[in-house]
Structure 1
Amino acid sequence: MSSTPHVEPFFFDSEPGTRFSLYHAPNAQVAARGAILYVHPFAEELNKSRRMAALQARAFAAMGFAVLQIDLFGCGDSCGDFSAARWELWRRDLGVAHQWLTKRNGGPVHLWGLRLGGLLALDYACTTQVAGIILWQPYLSGRTCINQFLRLRMAAYMLDEDPAMEQLAAGGNAALRAELTARGTIEVAGYEVSAELVRSIDAIDAANLRLPPCTVHWFACGAPATEKLAAAAQRLAACWAPGGVALHYHPVAGAPFWSTAEIAECPALLAATCAVFARESK
């Protein structure tokens, strides 16, 4: 596009405190397409994926979408400690951001979620009306997300030469969950997470969510194999179809940029996402 969309950083009020956000204004030289609200992933995956989220947000804006990126409570540059984060607080943040986007731009609003942000977007969509949902390598089960998160703690234990730490690692996720229950919080890779947040995340399963009629685009890259995810997408599509949800699965090749040691990009994912929305504009 010949015009570079404007990016506006700001904070908005959402109890408790404020939330940091980036607003990408739509390209004024093309027809307005509505708005997209980005829902970021969990813990360190937020930081690893910032570049990819920024690249896609700019691409959406160039296509005529207004895009809002928000750091949820306790995350990124927003107020609050991660240990105080709660699922319902995050849902409330999305509601405030959704209302702000609607007032600012009008038109349809899509949700765009990455990893656990995809599951949060789906859960939030159950109580509101959205034009569609974009999922980037989403977790379908909150419990799976937490189990993978806890494995980071186990890996740290295994590298520790203290026999007590090695014994904890041998106990696996069950031992870590018992520690979380007993203490109320647990520190994993620099993030202190509460038992209350873990319980809420554990309880969310995409197959049990009842979405309003909408279109969902699921983009898959990285592990597990896209063939395995295709089968999961078919099962999920069957669960949601009676409610008027149309699920489209898009496998792409690329690195799992949300977990790589260095900041990485996945050009194929950017291209595939843009291609789908370019077709929908015709």
Structure 2
Amino acid sequence: MNAPLLTLPRVEPFFFNVETGTRFSLYHAPAPQLRARGAILYVHPFADELNKSRRMATLQARRFAAAGYAVLQIDMFGCGDSCGDFSQVRWEAWKDDLEVARAWLAERTPGLPMHLWGIRLGGLLALDFACGAPVDGVILWQPFLNGRTCINQFLRQGLAARMQDGDPARFGTTSELRADLLARGMLEVGGYELAAPLVQAIDACDAAALPLPPCRVHWFASASPAPSRLSASAERIARRWSAHGVTLHFYPIEGRPFWGANDIAECPALLAATSAVFTAEA
């Protein structure tokens, strides 16, 4: 006799209708044969890192769902398949999108623990959002802990692309690009129209200074070799957060930096480590 087939988690694509337009979303329902264990709201990375991370985010969302978690992925305003131009993006608008998504997910998982799961700048956004939202924990994948670091890296990538184009007149420094942005209010970098108000809000965000509520933070850092040097940074920020009742767990993982690869890459070690932690917690 053949063994019965397990019912796979259900994935439901849909759009949120909000005042400023639609937001594309994917809901991964928890595996029906398991008792629901919690809810996880995904906070995607910045600009092209969103596209590079989609496969890893989907693979992990499926693993979470198979372990009994309800997972919601949302493309925020001006990103992915949602409405809006990137030039109109604002940090607070993204937080508004997350609140709409969090409330929707909480309504479908009443009484269950709510986690935010952020990748790269999405990790910093998740931490900022957690300061004013009822959440039980935050999952960080290779997060930026300082917004200015993220913007500087993004600008350097833009400069590198200009150099490849071979036009000396377009070369410059990050400081010059920032001055140009401040003067014009808008700057094109790698095909993205970057608005000064968004950059200023990101620059001002520092994880160490955020008043997080009491919760657990699981920080997964992946690189090749494993990023052990970040453990000192994790210890420093853990001491600051502990004053607010936050418990930080740091996991250095050896694996390919999928968010910046030229092709669509995977990091199996990161998937395995994250799944192991949340299977054990459940």
Distance in 1 (alpha carbons) for counterparts of 2:116 and 2:156: 29
Tell me if structure 1 keeps the 8 A contact 2:127–2:207: yes
Listed as ranges, the gaps of 5+ residues in structure 1 are none
Distance in 2 (alpha carbons) for counterparts of 1:42 and 1:161: 26
1:66 has 2:70 as partner: yes
> Structure 2 vs 1, CA of residues 92 and 273 (structure 1 numbering), >3 Å: closer, same or farther?
same
Structure 2 match to 1:278:
279
Q: What is the CA distance between 1:163 and its match in structure 2?
A: 3.2
What TM-score do the two structures reach when normalised by structure 1? 0.96
Structure 2 match to 1:149:
154
Q: 2:8 aligns with which of 1, 4, 9?
A: 4
Structure 1 range deviating more: 100-109 or 114-123: 100-109
Tell me if structure 2 keeps the 8 A contact 1:24–1:61: yes
1:104 has 2:108 as partner: yes
Q: Secondary structure at the match of 1:97?
A: helix
Tell me if structure 2 keeps the 8 A contact 1:3–1:62: no
Between the two proteins, what is the percent identity of the paired residues? 65
Tell me if structure 2 keeps the 8 A contact 1:19–1:79: yes
Structure 2 match to 1:75:
79
Structure 1 residues 192-246: Cα deviation after superposition (integer angstroms, max 9, x where no partner): 1101100000000000001000000000002796122111100010000011000
Distance in 2 (alpha carbons) for counterparts of 1:109 and 1:21: 18
Q: Secondary structure at the match of 1:178?
A: helix
Structure 2 match to 1:204:
205
Q: 1:118 aligns with which of 123, 128, 135?
A: 123
Distance in 1 (alpha carbons) for counterparts of 2:167 and 2:117: 43
Distance in 2 (alpha carbons) for counterparts of 1:192 and 1:164: 20
1:190 has 2:191 as partner: yes
Q: What is the CA distance between 1:131 and its match in structure 2?
A: 1.1
Q: What is the CA distance between 1:13 and its match in structure 2?
A: 1.7
Q: Secondary structure at the match of 1:258?
A: helix
Aligned residues: 277
> Structure 2 vs 1, CA of residues 139 and 224 (structure 1 numbering), >3 Å: closer, same or farther?
farther
1:222 has 2:208 as partner: no
Distance in 2 (alpha carbons) for counterparts of 1:263 and 1:31: 33
Structure 2 match to 1:40:
44
Tell me if structure 2 keeps the 8 A contact 1:37–1:69: yes
Distance in 1 (alpha carbons) for counterparts of 2:165 and 2:11: 44
Structure 1 match to 2:59:
55
Structure 1 residues 82-109: Cα deviation after superposition (integer angstroms, max 9, x where no partner): 1100000000000000000011121221
Q: What is the CA distance between 1:120 and its match in structure 2?
A: 0.2
Distance in 2 (alpha carbons) for counterparts of 1:97 and 1:51: 21
Distance in 1 (alpha carbons) for counterparts of 2:226 and 2:183: 36
Structure 1 residues 99-135: Cα deviation after superposition (integer angstroms, max 9, x where no partner): 0001112122100000000000000000012111000
Structure 2 match to 1:260:
261
Structure 2 match to 1:173:
174
What amino acid does structure 1 have at the position aligned with 2:117?
W
What amino acid does structure 2 have at the position aligned with 1:242?
A
What amino acid does structure 2 have at the position aligned with 1:173?
T
Distance in 2 (alpha carbons) for counterparts of 1:53 and 1:190: 23
What amino acid does structure 1 have at the position aligned with 2:163?
M
Q: What is the CA distance between 1:152 and its match in structure 2?
A: 1.4
Structure 2 match to 1:22:
26
What amino acid does structure 1 have at the position aligned with 2:214?
P
Distance in 2 (alpha carbons) for counterparts of 1:270 and 1:114: 13
Distance in 1 (alpha carbons) for counterparts of 2:151 and 2:84: 21
Structure 2 match to 1:240:
241
